[in-house]
Every structure is written in structure tokens, then in C-alpha cells.
Amino acid sequence: MSKESRKFKVPDELANLYDFANTLDLRRFTHHGVQHPQSDELSTAAGLAAWLAERKLGSGEKITPAMFDAALQLRSSVRDYLQCDPDERERSKAVGRSLNRMTQHFPLAVEVGDSGMTLRPARDDALAGLSVVVAELYDAGANGTLDRLKMCASDECHRAFYDRSKPGTRRWCVSALCGNREKTRTYRERHHGA
């Protein structure tokens, strides 16, 4: 859970997944004359450690280069998956295969507790925290809420957002910004050609 996930009312159950996908900020639009700076919270292993610690997912164990690599590949697969339209996700075999391969580094175990059964990280090293993110992915996939976690359709944005609209058909993270920008561009392109 983060300031951002609270601001956009992302359900707690998948807030870490939402934040993880958005550690890469590719937004490059201009708002009020100012270009949004692109950034990557996971540009270094130390950045990953800080991100995990902020969410109490850190283990204090060392993040090896192989672990850091696995984390970045997981993020890339998750972002590719979210980029697919929810209706297309099961049909996008390459995207599914990539996610299958990447999640292998994050094994989970079933834990029976007071509040029923939960998936817990099966490893206890520095990557255990990301297994929690993979568990959120699984749970959201199983209960259907993952269909509402999408990637903004604006080419200048590509931010993951949680669609709280009733029909669940939103395409832009913030309709008033990204949606309007896209509509203005389409309008301009159409009339430019005419």
C-alpha cells in the first residue's frame, strides 16, 4: 500500500502488485507546460531493497545480481500481462508463457491459519517479499479483480491503474487527462487528414 494506491483507491489486496508494476514510470506527457520526468524506482538493487522495506516486505538479506535480474524480469512480465486487454490475456500465449517462467522464481506455499488458507512465500531470502506480490497476482487472478488492473491506453502514459468503473471498461488511468489527450490527438489526426 502506498500514497498512490490509497489516492486511487486500489484495493489493499493487490496494492503491492499495483505499486510494483508502477515502479517503472514511463509517463512522458506535458501537463501545464511541464514534461513529466520518467523514472524507475528499481534502477538499482538498493532501490529494490528500499521499495521492499517501505512495504515491510524486506528481509534484510542480500539481493544478488541474479535476484535483482529476476525481479526486473518479473516486473516486465507483469507489465506485459497488464498491457493486454483483460479479454485478450488468456489468449496471449507468449505473455502467459513469460509470466509462467518468471513466477517460477517466486514459489509459494499454502498456509492454514486463523483466517483460512493463504499463500505465503516459500523462500525466506531477499526475494520473499516479491513472492508476496506474486501471491497477490494469483489471488486477484483467481477472484477476478485482476481484470480491473490495467495499463493506461495512452502511449504517453502506460501506467497501471485500477478500474473502479461499474462496467469495468475504462481505458485510461485518469480519463480527464489521458483520455482527453488521446481524444484530442485522434480528433486532430482525423481532421488533419481531411
Binding site for Zn ion (CB under 5 A): 152, 154, 157, 159, 173, 178
CB closer to Zn ion, 150 vs 159: 159
Minimum Å gap between C-beta 177 and Zn ion is 7
CB 29, min distance to Zn ion, A = 8
80: alpha, beta or left, given left = phi > 0 and alpha = psi -120 to 50?
A: alpha
Residue 71's CB is within 10 A of a number of other CB atoms, namely: 26
Write down the least CB distance from residue 107 to Zn ion, Å: 34
Minimum CB distance to Zn ion smaller for 96 or for 179: 179
What is the closest distance, in whole angstroms, from the C-beta atom of residue 174 to Zn ion in the complex?
6
- Select 102 or 152, whichever has its Cβ closest to Zn ion: 152
Give the whole-angstrom CA distance, residue 74 versus residue 136.
13
**Quick one: 27 or 75, whose CB is closer to Zn ion?**
27
| Measured distance CA(118)–CA(116) in Å, rounded | 7
Q: Which of 154, 172, 173 is nearest to 5 (CA)?
A: 173
